[in-house]
A and B are shown apart, each in its own frame.
Chain A
Amino acid sequence: MTTVAIELNGLTKSFGDVLAVNDVTAVARSGEVTALLGPNGAGKTTTLRMLLGLVAPSSGTATLDGQRYDELPDPVRQVGAVLEASGYHPGRTALDHLRILATASKLPRDAPMRVLAETELAADAGRRVGAFSLGMRQRLGLAAAMLGDPAVLVLDEPTNGLDPPGVRWLRGWVRRLADEGRTVLLSSHALSEVELTADHVLVLANGRLIRSATLAALRAEAGVGSRVRTPDPDRLCAALDAAGHGYRRTEEGLDVDATPEQVGDLAGRHGVVMHGLVGTADLEQAFFRLIQESGPAKPLVSAEGRLS
């Protein structure tokens, strides 16, 4: 059973006359991956930093298990975080970087090596971080987040700088953590990056939460569609007519208003040979539509841009 682990309630932040985050109310549950999605400057980083006590909200609250971050009795054992700008001293070794964090939080002496092994960096423990690739630094950030073996993970743009194998590794890692019952809240500017990982999506644009939905619900909204290649289109069309599914003939085959599962089942029942079947519902397009419909165009200088 899932429980609410992270709760944002009317969270608002303004920097001077720029409203960076505007009345965001949302939750993230344990055992789920919740993705905070939005274009650059939407207020994702500011939201996560308010949750972690690094930025003071102008109004509203952000709590973890009912407590503000600075009220947590043992923050590093309860929450792990990887922040976009959270860095490393380039002259320090990866092991020293983690030893400092582990020492400050009174974690076991073997914690740094354990997390370095988990993030496949054990062989680089003694190297200075300045010599690390961006992908290795991201993994070191994840290692730091896992030092206290926390039940809640907050990751700001964790896929930035990762190559495709790195993104795949991260996807599996995040999924496994959620399956262990942990709460994962991660931000991303691209739906495609979290499409295979997230259970729940919070869409942020211009500082406002414009959608909170399961990924399944978003998929349903995006519509359904399949593209079929078959040497026997007439028989398939007859079957589609009988089942009440719309379709169009194109040069590449048939575009059908049904899910690939529905089309595959139907073809199987009627013994129609198929040479190709792919889903064509475009979730990314639906995401862009949502953001474009959300209101006025993005200001030229975003709140995040102004601060950096």
Chain B
Amino acid sequence: MKALVHAELIKLRSTRMTAVLLSATLGLVMLTIATNVPGVFGGTGLLSLDDPRLFAIVVGVGFGVPQVMMALLGVLAFTQEFRYGTASSTYLSEPQRTRVLVAKWLSLGLASVAITVVTLAVSVPFGIALIRSQAGEVSVGAQLLQTVSAAFAVMAAYGVIGVAIGALVRNQIAGVVGVLVWMLAVEQIVVPVLPAVGRWMPWGASSSLLQLGPSYGFDGELLSAQMGGLVLAGYAAAAVALALRITPKRDVM
């Protein structure tokens, strides 16, 4: 398994895709943070500069785009193999397809740790600088630690879900467009407008786990962090189970 995971990590590193996605993501992380710190773009926004949770929420909000990136990387891990026909050689090297799936999950899990660390390396100093520039309070409390731990879990979960979607959908355009439309359109409307429904969706669950309620302008509408974590884990487990069930039986032409 170690060899397979190593091979998957070389796949991630040996094309420009990962670097391009990561650079774009980090730019968007900074933009997200800037729009969420009150006063940076004028106006008052939904958050308050006096709120002691502000810094934790800003760091958590900064993981919105990276979680989309993790889902896309996961989707691409499989759909690129089908698009370019490398799935055949992958399965010839390891005919037990469940092992290939597990290797992709593990490699995306490892990648998620690295990308989370890089995101924090950008979002933490940038968030501190912007909040201070508005004379706001930067407090490092329990919620910040919870948010940082939650970020690692959310990023890993989206990588796992992405791989499963890629294994099931196989078509790259359908997979990528589907994920983008769902995460950036459907959920962005349903979660703030209908939180009673949206909180049970993956984005609502991850927002609950990251304790981002105030960034939507409401408190108590999302799930508890624990419940959010459970729901997200449930989605990941369902995706894993479905991929494990269907992938080994499919013909590769």
A residues at B contact (CB < 8 Å)? 45-46, 49, 52-56, 69-70, 72, 75-76, 79, 81, 83, 85-93, 96, 99-101, 103-106, 144, 307-308
Interchain CB contact under 8 A, A89 and B253: no
A-B CB contact pairs (8 Å), 19 listed? A49-B253, A52-B88, A54-B251, A70-B95, A75-B93, A75-B95, A76-B92, A79-B92, A81-B92, A85-B253, A86-B86, A87-B85, A88-B86, A100-B10, A100-B14, A101-B93, A105-B3, A105-B93, A106-B3
> Chain B at the A interface: mostly helix, strand, loop or mixed?
helix
Name the residue of chain B whose CB is nearest to the CB of A80: B92
Interface residue from B14, B92, B96 paired with A93 (Cβ < 8 Å): B14
CB-based A-B contact count at 8 angstroms: 91
Name the residue of chain A whose CB is nearest to the CB of B93: A104
The interface residues of chain B lying within 8 Å CB-to-CB of A81 are: 88, 92
Scan residues 67-124 of chain B and give those whose CB is less than 8 A from a CB of chain A.
80, 84-86, 88-96
- What distance in Å separates the Cβ of A28 from its nearest Cβ neighbour in chain B? 18
Given A87-B84, A87-B86, A104-B7, A307 and B253 contact (CB-CB distance below 8 Å): yes
Scan residues 1-27 of chain B and give those whose CB is less than 8 A from a CB of chain A.
3-4, 6-7, 10-11, 14-17
B contacts with A, residue count (CB < 8 A): 27
> What separation, in Å, do the CA atoms of A52 and B252 have in the docked complex?
10
Interchain CB contact under 8 A, B251 and A103: no
Interchain CB contact under 8 A, B10 and A53: no
B residues at A contact (CB < 8 Å)? 3-4, 6-7, 10-11, 14-17, 80, 84-86, 88-96, 249, 251-253
> What separation, in Å, do the CA atoms of A144 and B88 have in the docked complex?
12
Interchain CB contact under 8 A, A56 and B249: yes
Interchain CB contact under 8 A, A96 and B91: no
Name the residue of chain A whose CB is nearest to the CB of B97: A70
Interchain CB contact under 8 A, B253 and A144: no
- What distance in Å separates the Cβ of B248 from its nearest Cβ neighbour in chain A? 9
The interface residues of chain B lying within 8 Å CB-to-CB of A45 are: 253
The interface residues of chain B lying within 8 Å CB-to-CB of A100 are: 7, 10-11, 14
> What separation, in Å, do the CA atoms of A93 and B90 have in the docked complex?
17
- What distance in Å separates the Cβ of A231 from its nearest Cβ neighbour in chain B? 59
- What distance in Å separates the Cβ of B77 from its nearest Cβ neighbour in chain A? 12
Interchain CB contact under 8 A, A92 and B14: yes
Given A105-B3, A106-B3, A96 and B88 contact (CB-CB distance below 8 Å): no
Interchain CB contact under 8 A, A308 and B253: yes
Name the residue of chain B whose CB is nearest to the CB of A75: B95
Name the residue of chain A whose CB is nearest to the CB of B17: A91
The interface residues of chain A lying within 8 Å CB-to-CB of B93 are: 75-76, 101, 104-105
- What distance in Å separates the Cβ of B207 from its nearest Cβ neighbour in chain A? 34
The interface residues of chain B lying within 8 Å CB-to-CB of A144 are: 89
Interchain CB contact under 8 A, A55 and B86: no
